Amino acid sequence: MDEMYRENILDHGMNPRNSGVVDDATIDYEVSNPLCGDHLRLTLKVNKSDIVVDVGWDGAGCAVSQAAASMLGEEIIGKNVAEVKDITKEDVYEMLGIPISQNRVKCAMLGLKAVQVSLHGIDYWRKLDESDEEE
């Protein structure tokens, strides 16, 4: 089963879905991981009903960061902003489907960080990071 998930991660990493920038985005946020050099720019278009109708990712990084962002993009299209705000780190781990080593956690969470900081603000993400470090 792990092999299937690894192939899916490689596929998303090499052929990311929602690649590129949404020109008429209502949200445009960039985030990076200075430890490994991964960089993502998230663009979202949210309609008047607070539904995510388009997602675009641009950036560079390892297969894990690119795949997680790609999978997350597919997950949030069609959801309302409140539902997107409720997506957790555990949800991303589930999307990836395989255990992520400690040195790859920040790679796997870079897309989620972009989404959550753009919707909640940086303080929200800092609290999540602090709670992870305490465990």
How confident is residue 8, by pLDDT bands cut at 50, 70 and 90? low
Could you tell me which of 55, 90, 59 has the C-alpha nearest to residue 76? 55
Both tokens assigned to 119 = 């919707």
Q: How far is Cα 64 from Cα 39, in angstroms, rounded to an integer?
A: 12
Calculate helix-pair angle for 63-76, 89-96, nearest 10 degrees.
Answer: 110
Q: How far is Cα 55 from Cα 46, in angstroms, rounded to an integer?
A: 9
- Strands 38-46 and 27-33, by their bridges, are antiparallel
Greatest distance between any 2 Cα atoms in the chain: 41
- Residue-wise pLDDT for 62-75, tens only, equals 888 888 898 899 99
- Residue-wise pLDDT for 123-134, tens only, equals 766 776 765 554
How confident is residue 35, by pLDDT bands cut at 50, 70 and 90? confident
Q: Is 86 helix (H, G, I), strand (E, B) or coil?
A: coil
What pTM was computed for the model?
Answer: 0.81
Q: What are the structural domains of the chain?
A: 2-129 (3.90.1010.10)
**Range among 7-11, 107-111, 123-127, 128-132 with highest mean pLDDT value:** 107-111
